Amino acid sequence: MDMRESEMSIDDAYHLHVTSTNKAPLGTVVVNPEGKIWFWNRWMVAKSGLSWQEVVGKKFTDQFSDLSNSRLESAINDALRHGLSSLLAQSLHRSPLPLFHTLSDTTTRIQQSIQVIAIEDRSHQRFCLLMINDVSIAVRKEQALRKQAEQLRSIAYMDALTGIPNRRRLDEYLQDEIRRAARSDSPLSVIMLDVDQFKQYNDNYGHQAGDFCLQRISHALKAALQRPADLVARYGGEEFAIILPDTPLAGAKLIAENLFKHIMNLAIPHEASSVSNYITLSMGVTGLQSKTHISGSILLSQADQALHQSKHDGRNRLTVFSETPHQKS
């Protein structure tokens, strides 16, 4: 073939360019040096409901009143005046233009990523090319992955048997609350509790009954806590721990007494117990003193020591941790 036969005329090249741009699965807009729309492809027609006859020759910002003083308007001006190109990512500019998947439903805009590109014609007049991508599917996938990650994180922090937070969540939450208490100089209390003679319960009623017993107790403990910030977690086996932000020891003792009542109201039979005919609890409580710097492991150890003192003294009671002889409730 002769080279001249393969050469395309300017009209043919222009026609091919327009056809290609109209077939492209993205919005293409060209704004002239005066800020008026020079080109508006079919994707823009389909997604905006504005035909090219309605918009060509008119100021781009006049077509969209909510673009006034927007980041997109600034980006277009920077391209036309200074030759600066930019990208308006969806993460910061979700839906700058009123574009929709179907014009029959204009309640939700398309999620958009917009490239703003400075271009010049043969006479070096500066134009602005806008390329608008629909990133809605990518955004939905990202949201689904984030939700899945949150669900996995939630599972990792939950005790499988009782459905309340586990030891891992307890440790992290306690450290967070210790730091917060230090910043705000506020009190913080910790209660450790143990189901009295639970081994005998399992031996007498069976492990399935034991699991159900722990579930009932965990739900009762959770229900007894009134504030969203209070956290009850399974510490291990039949032991539970409770974190009480903004709570002094006196308040923690009142909460512990309320917990005793809740468990008593369950009236779970325990014929193998030497303490009572029903399930009972032993508790230990400690607190973070004002302006005291202490680790979560030390607080838990203190509460655990007080708990063991309660068990040593006959169970079904509360002991407040003290460096001096223990104070019993």
Give me the helix-helix angle, 207-224 and 198-205, nearest 10°: 130
Looking up tokens 């005793």 gives 260
For the chain, helix (H) and strand (E) counts, in that order, are 12, 11
Which positions are catalytic?
A: 238
Structure tokens at 197: 């003679």
**Cα within 13 Å of Cα(130), Cβ side:** 31
Q: Who's near 137: CB < 8 A, 6+ residues apart?
A: none
- Nearest Cα neighbor of 321 from 285, 283, 282 is 285
In 167-220, where do the E strands start and end?
A: 188-195
User: Coil, strand or helix: which one is 257?
Assistant: helix
